[in-house]
Amino acid sequence: MVDVKEIRSVKLAPFTLMSSSIHAILAFIAAIITLIAFGIMAAFVPGASVFGSVITAIGAVSLIIYPIAAFFIYLAISFFSILLYNGLAPRLGGIKLGLEGNEVTNIPVVSFALILAVIEAIWAFIIGLFLAATLAPIITALSSSIPVISQAIANATAATNATIPTGQAVAGAGVFLAIIMIIGLPIMAFIVGFISNALAAIFYNYIATRVSKIELNFDAVTGPWKNLTYIPVVPAAISVSVVFAIFGFLRGLGDLASLSANGNVSGGIGSLIVSTVGYFIAYFIITALITVFYNILAPRIGAVKLELE
């Protein structure tokens, strides 16, 4: 029998520490791969050996900088995201999971897509504010200097009757751009986020679960609070990679239609195959690594705690 549970809230500290620690490890692995790639380039690419010491130094430094930067960046991102989730869940409804034992048999679409899309829209609003604030001094400087520049250009091109933008036009364009960033960006983030998250839940419910189901092993703490003590690696990796393989397939269909319209049918078919298989492999590896690291870290730094009702 399927038991639908809603994630009402998430403990801030355990989730934040777990997320930032996993991303730090992934960043360390990425730094190692980068160092190896640089080493291969220095060894086999003609002329690159001249920069071998520089490449080695950059790679060595990245082994330290990448993980530290990733840890603190995701510390802030994870903390604020869960803070938003805990504040929004009582109002919008939290993510719901249809559980049969330890298996996630279905994910109710609307609750999953809605709260994630709202969180993404809030992040987009913050980013839009930051971008608008960053561009404001540049636009102000341009609008104030445009009259001088315009006059110089007008004098040089008087015979051509060239149209010169005014300071007011530049300022107006800046205001329009700021409105797009502050209002348009969050709206677009919400729409795209809702559709993509809804599709992900649909793909999981009707396709991925026929292949494999995510399993979540909980250990009761107190009342509705549960410790997520262990996530079986292979079921999670297969189900997530199947969902994203479908997204890769849809992207490949778009490439197929575009390339076929230009007469390159074989290229379109190749893109379809590469997108589908590439997405599957990439997300299988990423999900497997995340779950492996989670299972290793959970007994050591504390498992994620969820309030399920």
272-295: pLDDT as tens digits: 999 999 999 999 999 999 999 999
Give, as one character, the DSSP assignment of residue 108.
-
Least confident among 80-89, 126-135, 206-215, 270-279: 126-135
Per-residue confidence (pLDDT) for residue 309, from 0 to 100? 86
Average pLDDT, the chain: 86
Give percent of the chain with pLDDT exceeding 90: 60
Kindly indicate the confidence band of residue 81, based on its pLDDT and cuts at 50, 70 and 90. Answer: very high
- Cα–Cα dist 213/105, whole Å: 6
Its sign, for the CA torsion 190, 193, 199, 200, is negative
Closest CA to 6 of 114, 121, 84, 107: 107
Per-residue confidence (pLDDT) for residue 26, from 0 to 100? 95
Is residue 236 within 8 A of residue 214, CB to CB? The reply is yes
Write out the two tokens for 131. Answer: 């971008």
Give, as one character, the DSSP assignment of residue 184.
I
Top pLDDT among 256 and 239 is at: 239
In the chain the beta strands, taken as DSSP E runs, fall at 3-10, 96-100, 103-106, 217-220, 225-230, 304-308
- Cα–Cα dist 174/279, whole Å: 39
- Cα–Cα dist 147/164, whole Å: 9
Residues 6+ apart with CB under 8 A from 226: 218, 219, 220, 305, 306, 307, 308
Q: What is the SS3 assignment for 11?
A: coil
CA 80, 86, 92, 96: dihedral to nearest 10 degrees? 110
Is 219 a residue whose pLDDT tops 60?
A: yes
Q: Which residue has the tokens 């279905």?
A: 106
Per-residue confidence (pLDDT) for residue 277, from 0 to 100? 96
End-to-end CA distance of the chain: 16
Top pLDDT among 106 and 137 is at: 106
> Tens digit of pLDDT for each residue in 32-57?
888 887 777 766 666 555 555 666 66
Mean pLDDT of 106-131: 94
